[in-house]
Amino acid sequence: DTGVSQNPRHKITKRGQNVTFRCDPISEHNRLYWYRQTLGQGPEFLTYFQNEAQLEKSRLLSDRFSAERPKGSFSTLEIQRTEQGDSAMYLCASSLVGTSSGELFFGEGSRLTVL
Amino acid sequence: SQQGEEDPQALSIQEGENATMNCSYKTSINNLQWYRQNSGRGLVHLILIRSNEREKHSGRLRVTLDTSKKSSSLLITASRAADTASYFCAPPQAGNMLTFGGGTRLMVKP
């Protein structure tokens, strides 16, 4: 399967713990996006990368959140000192800059539950 | 920021009926995309319509775009239970980044 892959699919953690999510984009895609989605809401933009450069970060991305894409391939999203309000689905998407459609390809998401 | 606002928030219809969802946005765009999300899954791209197009078809989907009114609509004809999902419109921001509104939650009853 050559789609966007996210791991783990589900994570349950206790408040105060750190968690890390990984996203493997479609191999030739140079852009990678992270979104957060809570129940009944649309996806909220968090950050995106073009190759290894982090080009934009939402104000939603507090200093407890950090994202990396060290070699311009996979990306990690780390949440430190988790809070119950961090419980959400974290979605990763990738795209290829220069295509006429600008279509985003989404992974299935990583669901975080903070107890 | 530029994001689409979908209307209605929820829609419930019988199988075989048509479903129409509307989207409004704020600033000029080159194109607008529609996405579908099944419960608990990622979003899937449905269709893109460009600013110089007024209407576009893809199977049972029909999308219209009115740039003067900054609005778009998605029509699903002859709906099926499998069409039950949330639908989002996505006008692009600078750099082709997409932001999403709350979506329309469609339920198609068998």
* Sign of the torsion formed by the C-alpha atoms of B38, B44, B45 and B46: negative
At which residue do the structure tokens 């709906």 appear? B79
pLDDT in tens, B65-78: 999 999 999 999 99
Q: Which amino acid is at A11?
A: K
- Collapse the DSSP code of A4 into the 3-class scheme (helix H, G, I; strand E, B; otherwise coil) and give the result: coil
What residues in A contact B40, CB-CB < 8 Å?
A: 89, 109, 111
Concatenating the DSSP letter of every residue in B2-57 gives: ---EEE-SEEEEETTS-EEEEEE-SS--SEEEEEEE-TTS-EEEEEEEETT-SEEE
Joined tokens for residue A47: 């950050």
pLDDT in tens, A50-86: 999 999 898 878 899 999 999 889 999 999 999 999 9
CB B48 to CB A103 under 8 A?
A: yes
Task: Tell me the β-bridge partners of A47.
Answer: A34, A57
Given a cut of 60, whether residue B21 has pLDDT beyond it is yes
Q: Is the backbone peptide bond immediately before B8 cis, with ω within 30 degrees of 0?
A: yes
How far is it, in rounded angstroms, from Cα A46 to Cα A38? Answer: 13
- Collapse the DSSP code of A113 into the 3-class scheme (helix H, G, I; strand E, B; otherwise coil) and give the result: strand
Mean pLDDT within A83-98: 93
Residue A44 CA to its chain's centroid (Å) = 11
pLDDT for B97 equals: 76
**Looking at the complex, does the CB of residue B96 fall below 8 Å from at least one CB of chain A?**
yes
CATH H-level, domain B5-109: superfamily: Immunoglobulins (2.60.40.10)
pLDDT in tens, A35-58: 999 998 999 999 999 999 999 898
Given a cut of 60, whether residue A1 has pLDDT beyond it is no
Searching chain A, which residue's CA lies closest to the CA of residue B48? A101
pLDDT for A100 equals: 66
How far is it, in rounded angstroms, from Cα A7 to Cα A20? Answer: 9
Sequence spans of domains, chain B = 5-109
Given a cut of 60, whether residue B19 has pLDDT beyond it is yes
pLDDT in tens, B32-55: 999 999 999 999 999 999 999 999
CB A91 to CB B43 under 8 A?
A: yes
- Collapse the DSSP code of A68 into the 3-class scheme (helix H, G, I; strand E, B; otherwise coil) and give the result: strand
pLDDT in tens, B75-109: 999 999 999 999 999 988 766 678 898 999 999 99
- Mean pLDDT for all residues in chain A: 93
Distance from CA of A77 to the nearest CA of B (A): 17
